[in-house]
Structure 1
């Protein structure tokens, strides 16, 4: 026997289907549906059995509900082109969503403003050219998988992804040639895979990734760091990049600015330096900035914005 919520969904489907012919059997209507609008119904779940029968759905709109998960049967929707899940309580998308055969060429611009609780975003094996700027607002994100796409670049303010542990941007092949400086400011990053792209140099900031345990770079025409450094292991790679930041590597030009002192890998405040070295750029009466820990302000006060070589030259 159907629950009251299921009956309400079926009634809503019938009312909002303007294209299907009238029928005494709701199942016959479902087979003809191309647009399914279940938005704003306070739904806490979508039955597996219902989703599995909507094989011809092109647009599935479930925004503004109370959904904590999507049914695994969503992988059966091989014709699905648009999935709107904004305004829900989702923390992840089911693995079966990869079975939806349609190739994505873009992600909604508002994804980072709507899915604030999202912990895993997997959009691999598509034709994405870029990630929307709002991606950097997914501050609860743990895993970001964008491999096997056509990415030309990544958002500049990645440092806002303070909980990101795994970043896979491999196999974008000839399209991805550079990485943003902010990739080295992902304070929680444990795994980074940039293999099989056209990257010639890693950002020096990667040397500051204290928690990084796995770095995959094969299949790139890398010049910096040179391959003999990679052969010595991750620790040596990070040391090499740190030395380049500080201008102390034998192949690096000597830095004359104070930026090198501020980017000592372990800190951006200079707190670990001798007192005499700190004088001149440490505020004596320092007080913390409160009430600004939101995505709107994070970019303004990030180490990248304050201390990046680009910012320093513009001052």
Structure 2
């Protein structure tokens, strides 16, 4: 027993020594065209800041040796690609490649399974790796605004830890299916896709943790009725859309009025007639096929994950599956239900 305790103490001491040896290297803002030969063992670097330089590339050999790097910041350079060896960074948690000229994220990034935050804003990205969501399941913040994305990968809903998804200022035609799996998503911004984004999926109403939704400046004519179920929603920005439903007299009031309007439409309620129809979920609860509960406990740590530099366009601000009944069927168009 004493031998085991002694061995554990030695291992703990070794770990602490290794942590003390880890280096933070800041080479930002030096107008570098190329990287100097490192004077230290790059394997000891835990944070490397190369931002605000004139770098056009990062050597494959250098990246492959950054085995202990946790934060890599190369924003505001002239990068035209990322090295494939970035997949060697198994401890990488934060990657900032924003404000470059990168047309694509290498598929090898899927090997960075510890990655929690990816900032690839202001590039020329037309496509993300198809299976990125299957591998980067620890991702909490994904920012890809100001690119040329037509679609987000269908695997994105597998990023179940995702808290923030910022895909504004792209060319998005649609959002991926399966959004209901993003149970921790708090901020969703798909604004300013202009004439490209014309509709939102019904599953957006199953984002039970959603606090801030910005769909402004698109071509959306109607909001999904399922938005009426978003109990935690505090801010909804819809300006700049040719909305017909809800009508403008509803939009101009408050978020609560909008949610009530959409909820009534989803439940088949006509306030001009009586009696009101009963809430459809009550029928499922009666026959024990659905619990009928819509309340979700509040995440006390929500605020710590919101972007400090997040800015939305001010708008309307006052305002999986279980058994044989999936959320998709609940929110399917009324015509798909048989009486």
- TM normalised by structure 2 equals 0.65
Residue 309 (1) aligns with residue 332 (2): yes
* CA deviation profile, 1:243-277 (whole Å, cap 9, x unmatched): 1011113489x999x9x512x7xxx953xxxxxxx
Check conservation: 1:173, 1:198, Cα contact below 8 A: yes
Runs of 4+ in 1 over 4 A off after TM superposition: 31-35, 37-42, 46-49, 54-57, 74-81, 299-303
Structure 1, unpaired ranges of 5+? 8-30, 271-277, 285-297
Length, aligned pairs only: 256
Mapping 1:65-104, distance limit 5 Å: 65-70=89-94, 74=97, 78=101, 81-83=104-106, 84-88=108-112, 89-94=114-119, 97-98=120-121, 101=123, 103-104=124-125
The residue that corresponds to 2:134 in the other structure is 113
Deviation at 1:58, TM superposition (A): 2.7
CA distance in 2, matches of 1:75, 1:307: 40
Deviation at 1:231, TM superposition (A): 1.6
Check conservation: 1:34, 1:57, Cα contact below 8 A: no
Pairing partner for 1:233 from 226, 250, 254: 254
SS state of the match for residue 236, structure 1?
Answer: helix
Residue 36 (1) aligns with residue 57 (2): no
SS state of the match for residue 60, structure 2?
Answer: strand
Check conservation: 2:63, 2:83, Cα contact below 8 A: no
Deviation at 1:59, TM superposition (A): 3.6
The residue that corresponds to 2:288 in the other structure is 282
Deviation at 1:201, TM superposition (A): 0.4
SS state of the match for residue 229, structure 1?
Answer: helix
SS state of the match for residue 104, structure 1?
Answer: coil
Deviation at 1:307, TM superposition (A): 1.8
Mapping 1:173-192, distance limit 5 Å: 173-192=194-213
CA distance in 1, matches of 2:61, 2:321: 36
Check conservation: 1:46, 1:70, Cα contact below 8 A: yes
* CA deviation profile, 1:279-300 (whole Å, cap 9, x unmatched): xx3259xxxxxxxxxxxxx257
Residue 261 (1) aligns with residue 286 (2): no
CA distance in 2, matches of 1:37, 1:110: 26
Deviation at 1:68, TM superposition (A): 3.1
CA distance in 2, matches of 1:57, 1:36: 14
RMSD of aligned residue pairs (Cα, Å): 3.6
CA distance in 1, matches of 2:88, 2:214: 35
* CA deviation profile, 1:14-61 (whole Å, cap 9, x unmatched): xxxxxxxxxxxxxxxxx8967626787681207869x69x96663412
Structure 2, unpaired ranges of 5+? 1-38, 46-54, 291-319
CA distance in 2, matches of 1:250, 1:131: 39
- TM normalised by structure 1 equals 0.69
SS state of the match for residue 133, structure 1?
Answer: coil
The residue that corresponds to 1:18 in the other structure is none
After the TM superposition, which of the residue ranges 107-116 and 82-91 deviates more from structure 2? 82-91
* CA deviation profile, 1:157-176 (whole Å, cap 9, x unmatched): 10000000000010011111
Check conservation: 1:305, 1:311, Cα contact below 8 A: no
The residue that corresponds to 2:153 in the other structure is 132
CA distance in 2, matches of 1:248, 1:32: 59
Check conservation: 1:69, 1:91, Cα contact below 8 A: yes
SS state of the match for residue 182, structure 1?
Answer: helix
CA distance in 2, matches of 1:79, 1:230: 39
Deviation at 1:212, TM superposition (A): 0.2
